Amino acid sequence: MVKEKKIPLVDYKLCMACRVCITACPFSCLEADKTDIDSYRKAYPALVRPETCTGCGICAKSCPIDVIIMVS
């Protein structure tokens, strides 16, 4: 049985844009990305290198408010 690779999914409505997950990622898969999600145009974490993401979940575990989940 082949295990499906999981990738992080951020709930941007709850994300504080603290960037802890970006720092925690051992493979540098996440980067801060300016978005139009809110009027402040905060830089939220974005999965910019999905090919190097191993699905380890360290980013999700490091999130202080648990707004990252790992999905297939």
Q: Where are the alpha helices (DSSP H) in 1-72?
A: 20-24, 58-62
Q: What is the pLDDT of residues 9-35, one digit of tens each?
A: 999 889 999 999 999 999 999 999 876
Hunting for tokens 């801060």 — which residue is that? 32
Whether the pLDDT of residue 2 is over 70: the answer is: no
Q: Which residues pair with 18 in a beta bridge?
A: none
43-47 vs 68-71, strand pairing mode? unpaired
pLDDT of residue 33: 86
The SS3 assignment for 9 reads: strand
The topology (CATH level 3) of 7-71 is Alpha-Beta Plaits (3.30.70)
Could you identify the residue written with the tokens 């999981």? 6
- Sorted by where each begins, the domain ranges of the chain are 7-71
Taking only the tens place, the pLDDT of each residue in 37-60 is 667 778 889 999 999 999 999 999
Query: pLDDT band for position 7 (50/70/90)?
Result: very high
pLDDT at 1: 65
Contact 52, 26 (CB under 8 A): no
